[in-house]
């Protein structure tokens, strides 16, 4: 049996081997797929210093079009190694191969191309006005890089969310130090190699592996030489990073958790609504911050909807990533499975009715050593129950009936989170009216997860701070400077 490969850090254009290592575990069968070099405080400091130095070198002199050309070369590099990226995503996460091929890797490519095209056409804003003395004044706005950006990424959509941050940061001329999740280091390491081959000056992109507290994450977020921090992940971790960012008043952008709702009105296209809720609840084993964990169905169709949802949930295929019939893979780790299962148990203690699932599947093969859980539907809980209020981040939803539009709007908004919501209705006027009253960063109508990458993305409350996407990302990764000229 071949020895698992060693994944190294990437600092100042060089691969760095550290003494401390940790195993990267495949959640499908519990096997070690690689060993990872953990960055110590010195390695992180070297990475930050390299990024700061690179920001004053040749990278600083490149035009927007020249940076855009490099981003396109990075996208080309991902395309050329497409199947390697698919394999890396699947090994780390256990997600179905077809998902990595149709979503994760294509979106990684699209992120670089989108921001390359955007920055090359962004230009400067210009205003023509009159001063109090009657003189003509021309004002224009320049975008300058923030400087050195710390990027801390999650494990649920590793390549997609990593490139979602790295692409606009580089597009605006920043230098970055990236810490991927310790659970999913493979695609980030592969991306570092693609970026190395794309010809970026040394130090512009740096990669440090490790954990959060007392490891690379903490060293990066507390570094006094980091100018901005962007993080996607759990709300409590965001709070910790925000406290660290308060020292030195660093810019921060957080995309955090969600306890998202789907609202199904009686006039909805029934087939589309059931299929949509299945997708929004169980995609990626429920490990997407945008998944629907709360489902509200108008009472007149509630029983029928719940029965059909159960039928389809019972039929989901849990299998190996390569299985062409697979619907759902494992959770990311045994530790995360323990968390999800604790909520399954809590829901029943709180009085929930288990409509489907609620436990651990048995396969009779090596998958029993993996981190699989059953896709699960609960019903019968009050809105005050912890399992209806707290993010579980697994393949689970609670389905409840509602009677009136005002009632369901109030129930959806009764949450500490405010990331996303879905509305299923054939009445467009109703959809517009309800969407305007929901306290969420994004509302989907008769769809889910479809989004133009140029639009703002983010949430309110515990769901985050700031917006990403299009020019909103460029705003975070740049400092705006206004120049006023009296003619």
- Residue 308 bears catalytic tag: no
Half-sphere exposure of 270 (CA within 13 A, CB side): 12
Q: What is the 3-state secondary structure (H, E, C) of 123-145?
A: CCEEEEEECCCCCEEEEEEEEEE
3-state helix, strand, coil in the chain (%, to 5): 40, 25, 35
Read off the DSSP letter of residue 39: P
- Residue 289 bears catalytic tag: yes
The closest alpha carbon to 93, from 25, 164, 179, belongs to 25
Sign of CA dihedral 292, 421, 325, 287: negative
Determine how many CB atoms are found less than 10 A away from the CB of residue 35.
17
The closest alpha carbon to 324, from 23, 98, 93, belongs to 98
Say which of 38, 89, 183, 255 is annotated catalytic. 255
* Enclosing H/E stretch for 76: helix 64-80
Say which of 9, 289, 387, 397 is annotated catalytic. 289
What phi and psi, each to the nearest 5 degrees, are found at residue 451?
A: -160, 140
Q: What is the DSSP string of 182-221?
A: TT--HHHHHHHHHHHHHTPPTTSEEE----STTSHHHHHH
Please identify every residue annotated as catalytic.
255, 289
């Amino acid at each position: 049996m071949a020895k698992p490969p060693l994944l190294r850090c990437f600092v100042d254009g060089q691969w760095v081997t550290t003494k401390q290592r940790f195993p990267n575990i495949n959640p499908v069968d519990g096997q070690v797929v690689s060993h990872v070099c953990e960055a110590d405080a010195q390695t992180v400091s070297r990475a930050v210093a390299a990024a700061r130095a690179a920001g004053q070198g040749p990278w600083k002199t490149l035009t927007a079009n020249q940076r855009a050309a490099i981003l396109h070369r990075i996208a080309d590099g991902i395309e050329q190694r497409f199947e390697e990226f698919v394999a890396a995503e699947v090994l780390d996460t256990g997600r179905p191969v077809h998902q990595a091929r149709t979503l994760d890797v294509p979106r990684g490519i699209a992120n670089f191309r989108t921001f390359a095209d955007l920055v090359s056409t962004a230009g400067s804003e210009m205003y023509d006005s009159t001063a109090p003395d009657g003189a003509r004044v021309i004002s224009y706005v320049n975008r300058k890089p923030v400087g050195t950006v710390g990027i801390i990424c999650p494990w649920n959509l590793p390549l997609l969310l990593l490139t979602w941050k790295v692409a606009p940061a580089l597009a605006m001329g920043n230098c970055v130090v990236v810490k991927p999740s310790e659970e999913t280091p493979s695609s980030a390491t592969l991306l570092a190699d693609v970026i190395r081959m794309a010809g970026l000056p040394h130090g512009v992109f740096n990669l440090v592996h490790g954990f959060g507290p007392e490891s690379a994450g903490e060293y990066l977020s507390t570094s006094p030489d980091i100018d901005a921090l962007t993080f996607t992940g759990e709300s409590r971790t965001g709070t910790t990073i925000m406290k660290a960012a308060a020292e030195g008043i660093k810019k921060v952008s957080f995309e955090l958790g969600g306890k998202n709702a789907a609202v199904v009105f009686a006039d909805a296209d029934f087939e589309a609504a059931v299929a949509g809720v299945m997708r929004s609840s169980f995609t990626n084993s429920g490990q997407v911050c945008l998944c629907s964990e709360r489902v509200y169905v108008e009472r007149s169709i509630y029983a029928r909807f719940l029965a059909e949802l159960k039928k389809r949930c019972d039929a989901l295929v849990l299998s190996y990533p390569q299985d062409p019939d697979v619907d759902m893979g494992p959770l990311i780790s045994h530790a995360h499975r323990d968390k999800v299962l604790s909520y399954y148990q809590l829901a029943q203690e709180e009085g929930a009715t288990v409509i489907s699932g609620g436990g651990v599947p048995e396969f009779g093969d090596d998958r029993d050593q993996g981190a699989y859980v059953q896709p699960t539907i609960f019903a019968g809980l009050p809105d005050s129950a912890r399992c209806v209020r707290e993010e579980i981040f697994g393949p689970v939803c609670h389905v409840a009936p509602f009677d009136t539009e005002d009632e369901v709007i109030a129930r959806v908004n009764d949450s500490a989170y405010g990331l996303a919501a879905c509305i299923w209705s054939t009445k467009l006027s109703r959809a517009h009216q309800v969407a305007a009253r929901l306290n969420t960063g994004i509302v989907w109508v008769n769809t889910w997860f479809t989004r133009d990458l140029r639009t703002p993305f983010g949430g309110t409350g515990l769901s985050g701070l700031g917006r990403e996407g299009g020019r909103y990302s460029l705003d975070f990764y740049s400092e705006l400077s206004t120049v006023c000229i009296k003619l």
